Structure 1
Amino acid sequence: MPSSALVLDDDARAVLESWIRSRTVGSGLVERARIVLSVAAGKGTTVTARELSVSRPTVIKWRDRFIEHGVEGLHDEPRSGRPKTIDDAEIIAATLEPPPARLAVTHWSTRLLAAELGVGDATVARAWRRYGIKPWRRQTFKFSTDPELEAKVRDVVG
């Protein structure tokens, strides 16, 4: 497919140029926008690949995806993989409940909660990060579960 087949309308050009200037758009989309704009400017596949430090197949892939699907074609397609076994809502709900007394802790850690829910600790950490949850920084006072607390307080306070 020759590069002359790539024609940008004003709306698509505006979107692609805004992606290049944006600080919040992912680097993959910025690279794809640069590829499409370069090819639309009449530069060939080889020249575009060399200027943007990407491979020729990469230029061809994104050029063709843009021709076929427009700006929406530059977004990532859903990736394959095993579906989630636990919903983030379940993790968050469990996080908001205090840990059982048998664990003798004041708040959940990723590993403890993961063991309770039967998932990986990275799954719990990802959910906490996504929703900004930090159980160790709750603003409510927590009583220590240390059975020696009273003796320690008396020792420190006098």
Structure 2
Amino acid sequence: MLACANGWNNTVVAARLDVGRDTVRRWRTRFLRDRLDGLPDEPRPGVPRTITDAQVEEVVVRTVEETPPAGTHWSKRELAKVVGTSPASVLRIWHVFGPQPWRTATFKISQDPFPIDKIRDVVGLYLAPPANAVVFAVDEKPQIVCHER
């Protein structure tokens, strides 16, 4: 909207923002019709979400902090029964957040008291990287012992 307010036409705005002209036209029309109330994104079509944020958090927390009573790691079916979702939902959450409890050679239960906050911070950097910032990632490899500097 700011680019349009500077007098640029839909074609120029679309090219500068790398979107289609129809997208620019649609947003301009919504802004002219509803002003600022037209700027938030409209609800998406399709089936409404059935899994809650609390269930997503519970899947991630249980995966990285606990083991099942009779096993070494969670299976998607066991965890789905405990949390009250489908095995497909558990698998989708694992794919989004990245824990792989079946990989015993590399997967470790987190001893961190606040793993979810840190996961959100890291995922947030990927989804919305800060402008003009440099981000360094350091993997401390807790299972490797350093004998020399």
TM range (shorter): 0.3 to 0.5
TM-score, normalising length from structure 1? 0.44
Q: Which structure: greater helix fraction?
A: 1
